[in-house]
Amino acid sequence: MESRRALSIVAAILAWITALPVALWVLFFGLRVRCDEACTGDGWQRSASGWQWHAVAASGAFSLSATVLAVSVFRRRRWLAVLSVLTGVGTIYVLAGGSAIEWSHLGRRTSGELLFLGTAVSAPVLAALLTPPRRR
């Protein structure tokens, strides 16, 4: 049982480490960069005043959910860990649905990018599923 706990803690730390650069990148673009030199044309991506930029910055919920995941795994709160994973997935789903990212380009990623993506997806799920119940 202790190896399961250790594995869940390692997975939670990996999830937090992969969420941190994503959260910083999103905050940077949502608060500072916005549409840079391409601020002409149609669509919110080409308008610095688009409300969606605030939503992008608000996606700090993604990094907050990773932090809650790590804390809940350390404290053996399985359902809180599952809830934090669902919150992170929901944040990604909402942001991906509102963006113009073409998800069909995943086949053109480098092996390092795919490893990062695989870790970011699998580590939180493993951490939540492997979290042992609290001792009473």
DSSP 37-69: T---SSSGGG-TT-THHHHHHTTHHHHHHHHHH
Query: pTM score, two decimals?
Result: 0.69
For the chain, 136 residues long, give each residue's pLDDT as a single digit of tens: 588 889 999 999 988 888 888 777 777 766 666 666 666 667 666 666 666 666 666 666 677 888 888 999 999 998 999 998 888 877 776 666 655 555 556 666 778 777 877 787 788 888 888 888 887 6
